[in-house]
Structure 1
Amino acid sequence: MQIFTFPLLAARLAGGFSRPARLQDLDPAIRAALDAGGLAELEGVRRLPGTARSIARTLARVWQADLDLERLADHSARLAELAEIERRVRANLPAGVLTPRDLRDGALARVTHAPATLGPIEIDRVAAIALVWRPLLAALAKTVPLAWRDPGTLETTWFPGQIVVSDVGPPASISVTSCANPRAEIVEALRWMRELIASGRARPSEIAICATATEEWDEHFLVLVADSELPLHFSHGMPALASREGQACAALADVLLNGLSQDRIRRLFGHARGRSRALADLQADWSLGLRPGAALLELDQWRRALDEGAGRHADGVDPRPIVMPVLQLLARGPEAATQAGALLLGTAARTLWTEALRRAPAEALEFTLQDLRLPDGRDPGAAVAWCPASHVAGAPRPWVRMLGMTSRSWPRRAVEDPLIPSHILPRAVLDADPITERDRRAFAVIARHATQGCVLSRSRRNPQGGQLSASPLIPQGISPQVLKRARIPQHAFSEADRILARPDEAAASPALVAANLCWRNWRRPAVTAHDGQVRGDHPQIARAISEIQSATSLRLMLRDPLAFVWRYALGWQAVSEDDQPLALDARAYGELVHELLKHAVDALEPTPGYARASRQEIEATLAGATEAIRARWPLERSVPPALLWKHTLAAAAQLALKALTLDETFQPGTRSWTELAFGHGRAGATTHDLPWSPNAQVAIPGTEVSVQGSIDRLDLTGDGRAVRVSDYKTGVEPRRADEIVLGRGAELQRVIYAIAAGQLLPDSPRVIARLVFLGDEEPRAYRLPDVDQTIAELGSHVTAAVALLRAGRALPGPDAQEEHNDFRIALPASPATYFQIKNAAFMGAFGEFARIWGCR
């Protein structure tokens, strides 16, 4: 006995090594037909990625309906063009590869050989037979015994053979369940499946779960079944992107479609290294020396970044001969898809890649990869089947659960063919068996053969929250059982589901106890351990306090003590994004301006000297600094696209020029420095003579806290009796800027600069500290009214902050409520509600420390 589909049956009878045309044969033939041109109505769309797929679907409908496009060509210009495309496709197919109509005609010509080549024929549980095969069956009925067992349709009067109806027994009563959403439907289906197997009422091979289309539920099934370890077989195949091979293809497609970037290349090489020919010899530390924050979006940036890191490999192996040819290939984009797949993908992934490229052009890889399927490797005879309804209709099982029983899915609505709409050819002619009728027929077949149990499941809402109405196929008079998501089931499908159903057992789980306590503590109007309260004199906090602080860490200490602990005691850091921004954020833009200032002043010292340089010399030096940063920054961090990066640099250079030419010196002999380091020996510090050693320690008076940093600008008179320190601000000047002293703990730089100048310069010079706002048309400078008093005030606030942290009250401060807080993800999901509940308790715990948030 042999099992055939209708095309294979016809091919067997036609002989001559004939075989039916598959998608692998049709897709290139259709592309070749479109590339030949000479079309009129379809000329505007023939090069679009989806055109070949649409034509393949239209031709399939035409062939299944047994339509002769040559005869219909006179009715419409569209039909005439499709007839021409069909002629080209037939001519482009390989030898022996035939369309359904040609295959049928070839079989009809040799129907007299049916007794020898085929023998008795039984059509088993085929729901409907396309019009194209009916003439062949009529001819076969005259030469061999022909029977149709359990047809899924009542329209069988045309069939010339014997109709055999099996006695499957009375169908089981139908029950209806109503679930919250598609995911809840799957949870209930798995509970039902577990109950049947565990109770011994059904074997896995007797159970089926189906839907008209599976895409809405596939991903949920993948996740939940992995957690439950239940034997579930995807008869339609698992999504290819759920496999390692599919992810390798996705990584390659991401690079080809979206361009080079460090994150994309690292992900691709992680999948391909050791599995591809091109990267077989690439060492694991190939990326040593690449800056994590650099986007590296251009081939030249990669070349220079790899050149800089080439000498850092301890084994002396240079990765550039391997990496650069691959990057050059990937930089070509989608046109290099075929070659890139052959070089960078393993055998299994390469098969997927070839199939994706066959289905559509490389520009559409993002969509074709999502449609690919892979066998799940399970034996269908020993597993529950999850599949489209058409699969169950062809191989019914006694226990069935149908998902998605809503008006939009059971049955699905028939849609017009995009190339042959109904005003060109009536839909009933083109689609003799519409999808609506197929779904109704499948429902009837599945329900009739479900002799042990049939459950109809529907969602009350779709994934977006919209309400759904029940399917018209649900029998009238059956009251649905409403299943709530929080209900306690009789059978749990996984460990998590079991714990959810047993509160007493969940209460003994340390992880759940901790999570529940955290949630409850966040809702209590009191300070708890989940708000940042820890034991006093915690060694990690003491270590963080003893380290040399910066203006950034001091701001966190004063404005958000909890974030200070997270960042400096626990070492948490925000993840740097390497996606190409359209503009630098405020912090990065300020760093750009400061780096321009440093490069310019370093170039001017010691000759001719910044204080003695003319405006033309400053502008020329600044232009050189701009070019140096233009080339270097893309190797260290993400920068905007080329044109926007050019304008960003130009704007930053203008601000830097304002800062460098802001005012005249105090008196003849005054020396000036920019980015003057103190409190540490930073690599790359200026090499000309400095007023102090960068390693000299600076401490905030009256505290145990040492500080470090770089002064934006320092001007020192020739006699050393007066010094001016400037803190440059690149943003727009705020309101009442002249009243800012400590800015509620946010403006600390100029005060720290004044402390450093006062402690490190000899003879205790008079210190002038100022804020300089460069963002407006004219820069404005605002002096600190009383430097000594402000330093003393800062010391008292820092002392209070240190005492607070040492006491274990590291609580969130005002900066925690900022929208752009780097640590917001570690706070409750509704921070506004959280702080409203906790505010009174926090203010009581902060005590005198909170004075800093009320100062100017």
Structure 2
Amino acid sequence: MIRRSTLVVDGPLAIRMQRLKAAREGSTGREIITLPLLAARLAGGFVAPIATDILYPAIQAALAAGGFRDLGRVSSLPGMPRAVLQSLIAIWRADIDLSSLPHVGRFADLCLLETRIRERLPASRMLPRDLRDAALARANFSSSLLGPVTLDGIVEIDAVWRPLLNEIARFTELSWNIPGPTEEQAWFKGFLHRLPVTPQATFSAETSADPKSEVVEALRWVRRLLSSGKANAEDIGIAATSTTDWDDHFLAHANSAGLPLHFSHGIPALSTPDGQACAALADVLTTGLSQERIWRLIRRLPPRPFAGTLPKDWFAGISRGAGLRTLEQWREALIAARSHRADDMAAEDALLPILELLARGPEAGHEAGRLLLSGASLAMWNEALRSAPPHSVSLSLQAMRVRDGRDPANSVVWCPASHLAASPRPFTRLLGLTSRSWPRLENDDPLIPHHLLDRQMLHGLTTADRDRRHFEVICSGTREHLIVSRPQRNAKGSILSPSALYPANELVHKRDRIPEHAFSEADRLLARPRDAGALEHVRQSQSCWRAWQRDETLTRHDGSVAADHPAILAALARTQSTTSLQRLLRDPLGYVWRYALGWRSIRLEGEPLQLDPIAFGELVHELIAGAIIRLEPRLGFARANADEIEAAIAAASSKVLASWPLQRSVPPAILWQHTVKEAARRTAKGLACDDSTRADTRSWSEVPFGQEMRTGGEWPWDETVKVPIEQAGLVFGGRIDRLDIRASGDGAQITDYKSIKPPPKSQRIALGQGRELQRVLYAMAVRILLPEIRTIVTRLIYLADEPARFELKGDELDAAVAEANTYLVAAVQILRSGRIAPRSEQDAVYDDMRLALPADRESYLRRKATDFRAASQKLGKLWYSSK
């Protein structure tokens, strides 16, 4: 015959460990439950304790009903459901009858909320006080339903359950195994059993630099215990009063170390794939559509129900740089890309209904979750929506925790101190023993501050007393080894003072110490430089570091390569652009990185509030091109009046307003309209600043040359012809911003527009230290492609503020062309020689790959300045010239 008994414990760790113990002992009649489950067992039927999946919707409905005296102004705030739940739980645990309190102000509102919540509960769910009363009515069945009842490892019993326990003691054997040196419990009518005092465990104290270092030392300690055989994983516990400061570090380091670490309080939901799917959905709903957000969402969605129906080529033909922040932009982009997809309509049929739903915003949260999520991600999403309004679901997801899938029976446990106090382990490590954490400071209840209701009445034990009691229980329950640890500083660098519970004698661990047992492979290599030095990538990095520190010596880690290196010869043999030639002159090493090695810097645009200078310049150029193309050749730019030019700019602006968001990321709608207006203003000023042009002059914009394929446009030359720079052995192509040619064919004017502010009028600009090479290259191209032209004028027009013009013509232009050829030959010789050095000038425009250089760039360049200047001597005159 099975003898029934009931063991009452506290916390998830104690439940799972006691169930393991019962299984090992073969105690099939032993039921292991918590106090709320004990009351539900006595109440009978299908009654169960109330849980958050029922409470949160009931609280939200109760708040939405309104009619409050004191809480009406804050009842709709995002954190209100959580605050109400926290306050009501404190009231229920303290066994306070809200109807007995003064029926005014805050208490009247809380009483009204409790009444509304009770009315909305299903019959099988009860509030704690109601559940306790229902159990009290059936306490006479305790002997047959529960058998002997034992309270084990419970530090403190809430007031709401005390009458029930005393009533149970009348009908069956009730005992309480009190852990540690706790206070007398005069209210308890059962049998009090003081647990025997365990022999004094080995006690030590350690100090680390910060919370991250504490985690590293804790995992080293775990590895030492496991590898030495002194302890099994289930014998080791690590705890803190509040785990927030250490959770992320434990999660990252334990995974990399492969240690069996169990989070008894759960891991952050957002650290799981299902949580990331929910976060991606919340991001789209709360911040709006964008291509980046939709990509992130689709990558993280479960295979069903939605992601499996989306064609694999749904994104074909859509520019990855496009912002796509409105439903209409998505619709236009998908329509324009139909020809790029195998099934031109499948992507639209699958994606557009979902985009329409997501565009509705947070209010579509429930429906979007049902359509896009499934399984664990859907359950997590629904839980987040229950605990917060739809527009603050992101905050709810951040606070949510889920099980980590590990069993504490074969794992090291990391948990709050309250969990470990209910189920101590032989080897224990307590973290964060600072004056702020052990014990913690008392905080007021969010809705019932101390001046409304005495804090002692609401919470019984203060937070500080509870933390001290947990510390005493853990100390008395640790049989083998107890380590207390504290950080010297917090994560922000502030100095922390030790806790009053922290001993005077401590062992200080430095960050760079060599541990007896490394917790991971990376930690082992950090502690054993000889082993790390045997790895090829470590040897290479050490060699690079030493080369960077060597004074006035150009090494292969600085840029030196073999003469006539095949990769450099291949880069020089390609058809150059005006941009690549400009980089060749300004930054030879940068040219090698980009065009020989193929490196590209990452542009983290996201959602810009304004266009960067380069993009704004492209916008102005596109408006200029659009206006000129609209006027040529039917009307002719030279013959157009101011109104016709203004109309052409307006038409180009309208086209750009709609087309750019489908091609690249642009600012939000209002800022984007303002940006285009500003670009149109500069365009109008730039086109109006020309001198009177002869009526027989023909104008072109964005004139191509040196292209791989014909464009089909009407151009003044064959656009596939490449322009040679014979002395340097280079060929190049590009697009001229604007080209004006007289009908007689004997004169041409080249215009290069700049959207930035002009230099002083007194400054003469020829090559501009290599920055203004483009207009000189354009002049070289026109001379070769149109040899009949005798007179060429090349202009720089700055459009910011009042437009300013800088011209080159005649002998001055000839000198600039000859100078450009000389410097291009010198740059090619430097690259072919293999002695290539970083530039010493501090120039942000050409430092977009700064990560390839040492972090302390200025000191590095200063240290090697002599050798670097010698390597780039042939270009030094260009870089430091005044024009």
- The interval holding the TM-score normalised by the smaller chain is over 0.9
Q: Quick one: distance in 2 between partners of 1:770 and 1:431?
A: 80
Match of 2:473 in 1: 445
Paired with 1:512 and 1:531, the residues of 2 have a C-alpha distance of: 18
Contact 1:261 1:578 in 2 (8 A): no
CA positional deviation for 1:11: 1.6
What is the CA distance between 1:452 and its match in structure 2? 0.4
- Give the AA of the match of 2:286: L
Matched position secondary structure for 1:529: coil
What residue number does 2:79 align with?
50
- Residue matched to 1:135: 163
SS in 1 for 2:794: strand
Change over 3 Å in CA distance of 1:820–1:372 after alignment to 2: farther
| Deviation larger for 674-683 or 14-23 | 674-683
How far is the alpha carbon of 1:815 from its aligned partner? 6.2
Residue 818 of structure 1 pairs with residue 847 of structure 2: no
**Among candidates 211, 215, 219, match of residue 182 of structure 1:** 211
Q: Could you say what secondary structure the match of 1:530 adopts? A: coil
- Paired positions, count: 850
CA shift digits 1:211-259 (9 cap, x unpaired): 1111211111111111211121111122221111111111111111111
Which range moves more in the overlay, 659-668 or 107-116? 659-668
Relative to 1, partners in 2 of residues 1:819 and 1:453: Cα closer, same or farther, differing over 3 Å? farther
What residue in structure 2 maps to residue 582 of structure 1?
Answer: 609
Residue number in structure 2 paired with 1:266: 295
- Within the candidate set 663, 666, 684, 1:636 is matched to 663
Aligned equivalent of 2:14: none
2:237 is the counterpart of 1:208 = yes
1:344-393 per-residue CA deviation (whole Å, 9 max, x = no partner) reads 11312111111111111122222211222222222211111111111110
Task: Please report how far the alpha carbon of residue 168 of structure 1 lies from its aligned counterpart in structure 2 after TM superposition.
Answer: 4.7
Alpha-carbon distance in 1 for matches of 2:298, 2:494: 42
Structure 2: how far apart are the matches of 1:614 and 1:289? 39
Which residue does 2:628 correspond to in 1? Answer: 601
CA distance in 2, matches of 1:209, 1:446: 11
| 1:491-510 equivalences in 2 (<5 Å) | 491-510=517-536
Aligned to 2:362: 334
Question: Does the CA-based 8 Å contact 2:69-2:108 persist in structure 1?
Answer: no
**Among 246, 251, 254, the residue aligned to 1:217:** 246
Question: Are 2:148 and 1:148 equivalent residues in the alignment?
Answer: no
Please list the CA deviations of residues 455-510 of structure 1 after superposition, one character each: whole Å capped at 9, or x if unmatched: 001111111111111111123xx411000111111111111111222222122111
**Match in the other structure for 1:411:** 439
Letter in 2 for 1:610: F
Aligned to 1:704: 729
What does the per-residue CA deviation read over 1:397-426, in whole Å, with 9 as the maximum and x for residues that have no partner? 010001111111111111011211111111
What residue in structure 2 maps to residue 358 of structure 1? Answer: 386
Deviation at 1:571?
1.7
The reply to whether residue 19 of structure 1 matches residue 41 of structure 2 is no
SS of residue paired to 2:346: coil
Which residue in the other structure is 1:518 paired with?
544
Moved more, 588-597 or 845-854: 845-854
Match of 2:808 among 761, 774, 783: 783
Pairs within 5 Å for 1:311-322: 311-314=339-342, 318-322=346-350
Matches for 1:63-78 after TM superposition, within 5 Å: 63-74=92-103, 76-78=104-106
**Contact 1:741/1:790, CA 8 A, preserved across alignment:** yes
CA contact (8 A) 1:168 1:451 kept: no
Q: Which residue of 2 aligns with 1:542?
A: 569
Question: CA offset at residue 774 of structure 1?
Answer: 1.8
- Residue 578 of structure 1 deviates from its aligned partner by 5.0
3-state secondary structure, aligned to 2:32? coil
Q: Look up the equivalent residue of 1:293 and give its one-letter code.
A: G
CA deviation vs aligned residue, 1:636-656 (integer Å, no higher than 9, x gap) = 011122222112112212222
- Is the 8 Å Cα contact of residues 632 and 699 (structure 2) preserved in structure 1? no
Q: What is the match of residue 309 of structure 2?
A: 281
Match for 1:669: what amino acid?
D
Distance 2:113 2:763 in 1: 77
Counterpart of 2:575 in 1: which secondary structure? coil
TM-score by length of 2: 0.93
1:708 is paired with a residue of what secondary structure? strand
- 2:647 aligns with 620
Quote the offset at 1:633 in angstroms: 0.8
Q: Given the alignment, which residue of 488, 499, 523 partners 1:471?
A: 499
CA distance, structure 2, for counterparts of residue 659 and residue 758 of structure 1: 25
Counterparts in 2 of 1:250 and 1:683: CA distance versus 1, 3 Å: farther
Question: Does the residue aligned with 1:771 lie in a helix, a strand or coil?
Answer: strand
Alpha carbons 1:604, 1:610 under 8 Å: kept: yes
Whole-Å separation in 2 of the counterparts to 1:819 and 1:454 = 57
1:744 aligned partner: 769
**SS of match in other structure, 1:675:** strand
In structure 2, the partner of 1:116 is: 144
The alpha carbon displacement at 1:782 in A equals: 3.5
Q: Aligned in 2, Cα 1:668/1:123: closer, same or farther, shift over 3 Å? A: closer
Q: Return 5+ residue gaps in structure 2 as ranges.
A: 1-29
For the Cα contact (< 8 Å) 1:171–1:449, is it kept in 2? Answer: no
Q: Which moved more, 1:456-465 or 1:92-101?
A: 92-101
Deviation track 1:545-579 (CA, whole Å, cap 9, x = no partner) reads 11122221112111111211121112222334452
Mapped partners of 1:164, 1:155: distance in 2? 11
Q: CA deviation at 1:751?
A: 0.6
Cα offset for 1:762?
2.9
Give the distance between the partners of 1:169 and 1:848, measured in 2 at CA. 82
Cross-structure match for 1:717: 742
Shift of 1:193: 0.8
Contact kept in structure 2, 1:666 and 1:717, CA below 8 Å? no
CA distance, structure 2, for counterparts of residue 440 and residue 211 of structure 1: 12
Q: Take 2:61 and 2:449, find their aligned partners in 1: how far apart are those partners?
A: 24
- Letter of the structure 2 residue corresponding to residue 187 of structure 1: V
SS at match of 1:94: coil
Q: Name the CA distance, whole Å, in 2 between partners of 1:3 and 1:626.
A: 73
Look up the match of 2:637: 610
Q: Report the secondary structure of 2:349's partner residue.
A: helix
Distance 1:330 1:682 in 2: 42
1:229 and 2:254 equivalent? no
Which of 325, 330, 348 is the equivalent residue of 2:353?
325
Quote the Cα distance in structure 2 between the aligned partners of 1:832 and 1:738.
29
Which stretch of the first structure deviates more once superposed, 829-838 or 405-414? 829-838
Query: Is the 1:293–1:577 contact (alpha carbons within 8 Å) kept by the matching residues of 2?
Result: no
Aligned partner letter, 1:233: H
Instruction: Give the alignment partner of residue 409 of structure 2, picking from 338, 363, 381.
Output: 381
**Cα distance, 1:176 vs. partner?**
0.4
- Write the distance in 1 (CA, Å) between the matches of 2:344 and 2:430: 62
Report the equivalent of 2:681.
654
Query: What CA deviation, in whole Å up to 9, does each residue of 1:270-311 have, x standing for no partner?
Result: 122x62223322122210111011111111111111111111
- Cα distance in 2 for partners of 1:534, 1:770 equals 39
Structure 1, unaligned stretches of length 5 or more? none
Q: Is contact 2:66–2:72 with CA below 8 Å preserved after alignment?
A: yes
CA contact (8 A) 1:658 1:779 kept: no
Larger mean Cα displacement after TM superposition, 155-164 or 55-64: 155-164
User: For residues 558 and 815 of structure 1, do their structure 2 counterparts lie closer, same or farther at Cα, with a shift above 3 Å needed?
Assistant: farther
Aligned residue for 1:673, secondary structure, equals: strand
2:456 — aligned with what? 428
Deviation string 1:136-157 (CA, Å, 9 cap, x unpaired) is 1222222211110124521312
